[in-house]
Structure 1
């Protein structure tokens, strides 16, 4: 069950609600990411394309479906890119909880050799916020710098026209 939906139920919300899940299974979402990544690859060389999503504590239900959907999306995206070696992992673990989804992006990078530059695509995020601007752009970029690697990040969708059109299509197709 979705935590937000659980919260609404706990608060006895009586209005209509409809959740839309599954951006990772949507061809339009794949096209947006593919286009953004290809644009970055046209302008510079990167040794690795690091695909990320927010990690989750493994104590909740649904982590396996989330992880499976993320890695399937990564494979589909890699097939559409085909110009740089893709690697994938989870980011932004909290200090709380004993066990989190693996592998972490730090472990993924540590397993690579001969890498001088990394292009990061935070696939689990649609707009820039703390987990992107701090966890990736500050903390993870410093981690890479200490390993002698250059960091770059694909620009997120935010309020871009392609993302707004995508959301519009998803909403229209999911509501009768």
Structure 2
């Protein structure tokens, strides 16, 4: 049924000169003010103008290739990005030249919403149109928010982070899960996936907390908001939430970015820089839990999802959660939001 595997990701700059061109790709058509782009560019330049996401994708691609080979899954592995090299259209052109006709793809987002799911389907369609009539067909794999290979690395990371804090303050310690904020209109879209993004994240949070910090109180909050102030986005922001927790008598926090599959720049800046600084100012103990990255369990999950899709007549879904699920998104899932002409950058 398939003759290749494709990893789909967001992309990121790898040199200071690439930062602004990359951000222009991300925000094209959204009317983002130049001052907002300059502000976000500074975040990248603080890290030498290099986002770690591309190197993390290279590590994941190498791990997937090794796992496929070790388990006799004979699929070549390709990688293409939404916003920076290797661009998806270039990757599909390469696949076409290699004789690939149909690929199965994993997007580096576990959840359902326009930006984390539907937009990747649109990216595939646009890239295929750019490549032309012989462009490979590409089928996107399902959401994986409750797959053990996604949940268990987070749970172990939470346990490890918790062990670095003062055990005598366990009663006043809180587990804080974070994910990328999105416009409320996007989160509450009508149709079969209405409210799916937050519901899936809450289920992931529950599954991770039960395994990584049983009995510890936890919250789901948001980070990386970037839209215009008049556009409602999911709240509270993680920094505002830390303020609230400190007033409630919480003395320590473990922050786990369950909305992300790797420690890319939004995790490093929004949590390791800004949230950690907020915690220091408030006198809160702070530990940030890691993400799956190229954890062998996450890599094995990729293979499991591919085999699940390839099985004749389908097979039982590997899942820990209880939410309704589907293998292929309906045509009306996760419609795009109505954007203002001052919508910000993701």
Query: Shorter chain as normaliser: what TM range?
Result: 0.7 to 0.9
In structure 1, C-alpha distance between the alignment counterparts of 2:221 and 2:119, rounded to whole Å: 23
Is the aligned partner of 1:110 residue 2:258? no
Cross-structure match for 2:255: 120
The alignment of Structure 1 onto Structure 2 pairs a total of residues equal to 176
Cross-structure match for 1:133: 268
Cross-structure match for 2:197: 66
Specify every segment of 5 or more residues in structure 2 that has no aligned partner in the other structure, as ranges.
1-113, 312-346
Give the superposition deviation at 1:64.
1.7
User: In terms of Rg, which structure is larger?
Assistant: 2
Are the aligned partners of 1:87 and 1:108 in contact in 2 as well (CA < 8 Å)? no
Give the superposition deviation at 1:116.
1.9
Residue of 55, 79, 87 corresponding to 2:210: 79
Any runs of at least 4 consecutive aligned residues in structure 1 with deviations exceeding 6 A, and if so which?
none
Cross-structure match for 1:4: 120
Query: How far does the alpha carbon of each residue in 1:102-160 deviate from its partner, in whole angstroms, 9 at most, with x for none?
Result: 23223433332212221111001111111111111001111111111122111222223
In structure 1, C-alpha distance between the alignment counterparts of 2:202 and 2:256, rounded to whole Å: 13
In structure 2, C-alpha distance between the alignment counterparts of 1:40 and 1:23, rounded to whole Å: 24
Are the aligned partners of 1:49 and 1:84 in contact in 2 as well (CA < 8 Å)? yes
Specify every segment of 5 or more residues in structure 1 that has no aligned partner in the other structure, as ranges.
none
In structure 2, C-alpha distance between the alignment counterparts of 1:141 and 1:156, rounded to whole Å: 17
TM-score (norm 2): 0.46
Q: How big is the alpha-carbon RMSD for the aligned residues of Structure 1 and Structure 2?
A: 2.3
Residues 95/146 of structure 1: CA separation in 2 closer, same or farther (3 Å cut): farther
TM-score (norm 1): 0.85
1:169 is paired with a residue whose SS is helix
